Amino acid sequence: MLKEKETIGIGRRKTAVSSVRLRKGSGIIDVNGRSFEQHFPLQMQRDTILAPLQKFSNPEKVDLVVRVRGGGLEAQAVATRLGISRALVIENEEIRGDLKELGYLTRDPRKKERKKYGQKGARKRFQFSKR
């Protein structure tokens, strides 16, 4: 049994982590065992995820197996886009500059700021009373 060649890309955003397996196929996208439309119900999220594929590859010629956990749907979508972009760069190094220019290879470093002691939240303070 010969295993088909697949490239793996991992993307992260906030607390969402997405592992993307990219292989030649017929355009099937499996997200955590569910269909693509089921997991990402909004068209905007689906467009965000498929943007690197539509620019530099034919989405109908590749199958995607996505394993994603943590974060919200929006963070999962951006993490998946980063994973797809990284997998595409492993397959074809020439598109690296174009993907970087579009911002698809940049990991968003913003994270939730931790709550500090003696305060109500990360920045919010308890009400100050002078007397």
> Each residue of 99-120: pLDDT tens digit?
999 999 999 999 999 999 999 9
Residue 116 tokens, joined: 């500090």
The DSSP line for 56-105 is HS-GGGEEEEEEEESS-HHHHHHHHHHHHHHHHHHH-GGGHHHHHHHTTT
Is the predicted pLDDT of residue 80 greater than 90, yes or no?
A: yes
Report the domain count for the chain: 1
Q: pTM (2 decimals)?
A: 0.89
The answer to the question of residue 27 being in a domain is yes
pLDDT of 47 reads 94
Is the predicted pLDDT of residue 2 greater than 70, yes or no?
A: no
pLDDT of 87 reads 93
> Each residue of 56-73: pLDDT tens digit?
888 888 999 999 999 999
Tell me, what CATH number does 14's domain have?
Answer: 3.30.230.10
Q: Residue 47 belongs to what domain range?
A: 10-102
The answer to the question of residue 120 being in a domain is no
The answer to the question of residue 59 being in a domain is yes
Is the predicted pLDDT of residue 130 greater than 80, yes or no?
A: yes
The answer to the question of residue 127 being in a domain is no
The answer to the question of residue 115 being in a domain is no
The answer to the question of residue 130 being in a domain is no
The answer to the question of residue 51 being in a domain is yes
Kindly indicate the confidence band of residue 1, based on its pLDDT and cuts at 50, 70 and 90. Answer: low
